[in-house]
Structure 1
Amino acid sequence: MSSPDQAPPPVPDDDDYSPEPAPPGSTPTADHPPGPDRADPDWVRTELVRRTELIAAEHRAIAQAQARQAERLVELQLWSEDPQVASRLQGSLEAIRLADRNAATLSACQARAVAFGRWEDREVARRTIVSETACLLNLHERTVERLLDESLWLYSTTATFEALSAGEISYPHAKALIDQMRTLPEADQAAFEDAVLPHAKTLPVGRFTNRAHRLRERRHPESIVTRTTNALAERHTRWEPAADGMGWLHWYGTAHDTKSAFDRIDSTAKTLQKLGDPGAGTGSGSGSGSGSAPGSAAERVEAEQQRKRGLAQLRADITRALLLDGVTPDGLGAGIRGTVMITVPVLTLLGQSDEPATLEGYGPISPETAREIAATAPSFTRLLTHPETGVVLSLGKTQYKNTKAMKKWLRMRDETCRFPGCSRPAVTSDVDHTNDWANGGKTDCDNLAHLCEAHHRLKHLSRWQVVQEPGGVLLWTSPGKRSYRTDPANPVAPPRPRPPVVTPKSRKRPAATSYLMPERPQRRPSPPVPENPPF
């Protein structure tokens, strides 16, 4: 920038004036009068309008692009439902027939996919376009399923789709509208859309969702008792990982159950808070209170203040205690504990390192949490890794002795379903032969990997193909001939072959001159027998 004391160059009178180009690295000087006064309120107001209008234009462009994406998703679904297209997305019929012929000789786990009832052509086509799109966009298949479903509803609502295509409403507004409208009878949907769409153009998403929900309640022909009974079938609980070694537990239930449960937790937490939090410092909720006590009185007071739990922390700890140790009214839950697999470096376990441990299906957790869990663990499985590469060398002493141990080894290696983008835990998935058992595939770790039930079926019944490379690396090829690679969660070295076991029946008596066979320690060995004894 030029110095404030430097006067600007004179403006030339002729229109053909062309200044000399500035040398490289220098800051060009202004060839026009100074800009507007930044303290001028009119200029500030104009600039505010201009800059926010640019953002609004991009917002409208995003809405228009999402409308085009919805239209393309509808076209993809209609194309896949063509009978001639759907029939050609089926897997190899010869491979399916071969699997059927050999299914009777398979174990229950090996036959899980090939013994399934066959999908119809339309179902195979649906699964194919969902998996192909999900892998291409790096989205979860459930997300793609939801987008496909929303696109069909959105495309069928002409007025809402046109408003989204014109950028008059956002996609969240359109989604909120169709979420409420789809629960109404078909005869009432058009009137509901006409009544609520104008509000989508003027209200924020939150307020619009509330307005649409209230209008839907007034217009629904069924009573809320009937609708609550039907919605009760959708109750569920799910877990969601969060950052920094934390997670969310979601419970979707009736309004009175969830509200009553929270009120009970809240009232218990407030009671403990009034009593001075007698459980503070015991490590009951977060592992706090571990380590040596501070030396001075001031340090002990400060540590005690830090250990006192706030109301939110009390609620979380009470929820934890009730869920982990509570018993249902019919007596279920007593003695039942959740099972997790945690990998802890031995130096971390001994308190000589701060290297984090690994929780199956989540990732790194703090060393303190790992040591607290290990202190109450009923048993351990030894895991030997290479000190530099981290590659797992062995798991337990009899890892490959039986099928149960091999399943544990594969579960530790994979952690999840090995289909691209799938995060279903390995513990709830099948152990699949990459090269089908019916085609001569072997039952060893280099030909086994976890696949959830849906992707197990997809592998056998569609045109998805997979090859397993050394180290458990899977190379997938989609029906669209796109390539995807999935690596194991924990790299595992090939297992060492076990030495052959020699049974007593197969032992041969050694030759007399081969070596001396000692009798007992207290006796001297017998002399060797000559090869040609005299007679």
Structure 2
Amino acid sequence: MPSPGALDTATAVVAHAQELAQTPWSELSGAETVEVATAVAAARGLVDAALVGIAGRLDGDDALLETGWASAKDLLTHLLGGHKGMGGGLVRAAGRLAGLPAVREALEDGRITLPQARAIADRVATLPRVPEFREQVAGGMLDLATSEGLDATDLQARFGEVVRDLDPDAALVNADKERVKAERGAHHARHLRFAEDGHGGVKVTGYGTLEDAEKIKATLHPLAAPATSEPGACGGTNRQPGEPMFDNDGISTQTPCLTPGCGHDGRDPRDAGARLWDALVDACERLANSDDDLPRDHGTKPRVIVLIDQESLRQQVIDAGLAREGQTPTGARLSASAVRRMACDAEIIPAVLGTTSQVLDVGRTQRLVTTALWTALIARDRHCAFPGCTRMPLACDAHHVVHWADGGPTSLDNLVMLCRYHHTLIHQTPWAVHIDPDTGQPVWTPPPRATLTSLHGKITYHPARPRAA
């Protein structure tokens, strides 16, 4: 159906649904109410099928970014006004039902409801990845739903029965379970050890899953390719065939270089193992020198931040051993005793707080302003400042409330700590944040809620109330 027709149909459905919702139910007889309930349930099932289709269409569509939404699940959760994850559930259902065309068709025809379809798809997703077997199991559960009218709970309970009928010896299921068990065992046994040999070297031993090994090899092998050069680029030369070992002045006709095993012919003298080791070192150096996300707390050294109010600072309670409960930049909660123990070897930064926990001054250990500001953000926000998120600082960025490109200053009253996910979210959705001038704390304003205000499908957006993180 073309999009204009779909929009017209959806608008008409909204108008009729609103008229239905305003029905004076007390005026209906019991028999009429039962008939209406049956029709409404059927209509809801078809509307759910349409939502699944919409979720599948919007998932991964870059056009969403133009409307201010980062993903289809965020948009659908917002529009439906449900619990977090509701939109994601529709997206997952669309993905799983795409591989079960018979179940998807039954949902769109109104023969089953979305809860029934999801019960089938979710259980089938746990089976071995054998398409024919999965389709057979889905078909068996679909027959139970349509012929016996089983609800989602009963369908899940009968799942094992359907599987046993189609795989009586459990050959497919057990083979997959054994493979999963072996992979899980390898994952639990993973390790990497470095043992110094006392002679300037180190022995490396490790164990892990095949999956992890493939990731490592895919990264290292391109870096471990032989590095060729022009002959003689190493600084050494070979004695030519028939040429004497020494010239008339007694000087060797062969010039050595400092690389053992080098043939001075431009070929890489390293064997495969040496190249792979060098590739590992190279990969670590590239990562350390890149802008990728490393748990280094934005370039700062490991340190302890002790929060203390002005009055306590004047009374020198730290020197008296009365430090307040502290928190490390990684989010670990520490007692005052633990703070004092760590202070023996760690760098102490006194973060002075006012009466409303607003950061008044942060001691600096470097000349760079960015380090001091990041320390101030840790002291103020503690973790990602988005409502309900507690991701630790090492997984966060400093976000400009007023973008730097728009003239916003790089100062504490224009910065907020956000994890990678919510940093992307605020750039691509209608969420807004500002710093309260009185408390110095971030205050968030969610996107406006859409509310239907007329029988013609007109939608009005009502602003949401700001809320603190």
Q: TM-score, normalised by structure 2?
A: 0.45
Task: State the structure with more CA Rg.
Answer: 1
Larger RCO (CA under 8 A, 6+ residues apart): 1
TM-score, normalising length: structure 1:
0.40
